[in-house]
Structure 1
């Protein structure tokens, strides 16, 4: 009798387990990003087998394209800068930040022709930037640092993949850009006159998802987050091999990627817990960005920082 009961229990457990696996395999989430070394760790995690087949990594040409795809529901998860995430919230999209991917400490730059050596010399010049919250934020901070106002500049809106050609053909004098495009621009007769190290902790890259996605795909999202931390561990333990994989996919040299990553900080799980905690660093950054984004009319009213953050997935 006990043997029969045991066998029946085992059979039921096996059936339920298989059903569970089947349901899990049927679920798919799409994670969208543009090209940026801070997001490349997700592709490394995929390469190392830490991210399963039903988490699709989709790379788009620009942050503008990522935001639009997220608006239209073509992505469940988007990799964005914090200010871009705040812009989507201001449009009425219910989303949460559940992971901090990186903090830029020099990876975002204003690059000018070598004849321009200071921000103040941009007066009357043509400067290009991507028409996103990040582009507007960098423009605002650079103008403040250089004592400039909007009327002093000739502004051109260019997506990130259009910048090299415009700089090369002489149609712009300076550009607000980021890696890996920045390294390519610096191969011309050019120099950096401002970067994100001048505005510490202001440019933060995050993963966001709508509230319903977090509820419906919590297991996959936890796997995605863990994959990020596995990739960071791989970089720490086998840096050359990891950068070799990343650089090949990005189409740049290991040396250029290593240089680019020097201007980017990748927070660990423990750092993420501190950043996303109630009253944590990210909360304070959102309050600072609220003021700038509201003053520059990028958002109509301040965003509730507490309602924007979910630290569930960075907990052990």
Structure 2
């Protein structure tokens, strides 16, 4: 009997101890504005903030979205399009909790050298990643040129695929962003026809997580965002080292990474705006996106934007 008690007592005490939490899993594809999460991981800022975060790397926004929809990750770095599409297609409940950046020229439409403006795309082949912000940017660009989506021939590719298609002249234009855009612009002939600088404030990148994670891991999400801010501070204090680390994951040179960041406004926690005015701006963009996604049949069910944004984590960080 004594032997039995001696065996079971350690198990009893072990069972009373807090079990370690699973890491918060965040899907991320290559995009300079997201890389500060990767920098936080590499610099051990997550651990120092007392939170376990696991970044799962995917090659495209579409792949990140699918991973989220399948429950393989708890959240994703994405655009508002992936947020809306996931909300429409699955029973998961994605919530925007943080705006990582605004694209002020980094998202772009590149054409072959003989094209000079968006109007030249009429009847031409355009490579897009369907189900992503690509379609929104293309629709906005065509609209400004007096054209519609029906005036171009849309070909579906992921980012790596469209790079090859463009270089092989299988398409006349691509809707892309760094690092693919950086590679194509370094190749002779690629020409900017339109960029997100032409639609200021409309192209934003975000971190969204399933609502269950907000309900059960609120303090951990707060720690994750504190680590984000520490990455921004580190990059400001050590720009060369930070660029080297982040460019390595993007597969480009540090100087190219720094150049890409000049077209991106990266936001800190203090720069988040979940006030009535800020929410109004986000909701206006969401409504515009929903119209275009409906027109292109990318939403399978209606989406209400009333509860899609949750600023409580950031607000709690700055509450007195």
Indicate whether the TM-score tops 0.5. yes
CA distance in 2, matches of 1:301, 1:165: 34
| Structure 2, gaps ≥5 residues long | 1-12
CA distance in 2, matches of 1:294, 1:66: 21
CA distance in 2, matches of 1:175, 1:183: 13
Alignment of 1:300-311 (within 5 A): 303-311=303-311
1:283 Cα deviation after fit: 3.1
Q: What corresponds to 2:119 in structure 1?
A: 120
Change (3 A) 1:123 1:67: same
1:139 and 2:138 are equivalent in the alignment: yes
Alignment of 1:133-282 (within 5 A): 133-188=132-187, 189-272=189-272, 274=273, 276-280=274-278, 281-282=281-282
Q: 4+ residue runs of structure 1 moved beyond 4 angstroms? A: none
- Contact 2:32-2:260 at 8 Å conserved across structures: yes
- Contact 1:130-1:160 at 8 Å conserved across structures: yes
- Contact 1:291-1:302 at 8 Å conserved across structures: no
CA distance in 1, matches of 2:211, 2:150: 41
SS in 2 for 1:75: coil
SS in 2 for 1:249: helix
CA distance in 1, matches of 2:158, 2:125: 15
Compute the TM-score of the two structures, normalised by the length of structure 1.
0.87
CA distance in 2, matches of 1:65, 1:42: 18
Alignment of 1:22-171 (within 5 A): 23=19, 25-52=20-47, 54-91=52-89, 92-171=91-170
1:108 Cα deviation after fit: 0.5
Deviates more, 1:122-131 or 1:299-308: 299-308
| Structure 1, gaps ≥5 residues long | 1-14
CA distance in 1, matches of 2:286, 2:173: 28
How many residue pairs are counted as aligned between the two chains? 296
Compute the TM-score of the two structures, normalised by the length of structure 2.
0.86
CA distance in 1, matches of 2:110, 2:43: 35
- Contact 2:62-2:132 at 8 Å conserved across structures: no
Deviates more, 1:150-159 or 1:186-195: 150-159
1:248 Cα deviation after fit: 2.1
- Contact 1:45-1:231 at 8 Å conserved across structures: yes
SS in 2 for 1:64: helix
1:227 Cα deviation after fit: 1.2
CA distance in 2, matches of 1:248, 1:94: 33
Q: What corresponds to 2:6 in structure 1?
A: none
CA distance in 2, matches of 1:307, 1:132: 21
1:133 Cα deviation after fit: 3.4
Q: CA RMSD in A?
A: 2.1
SS in 2 for 1:38: helix
SS in 1 for 2:33: coil
CA distance in 2, matches of 1:198, 1:301: 30
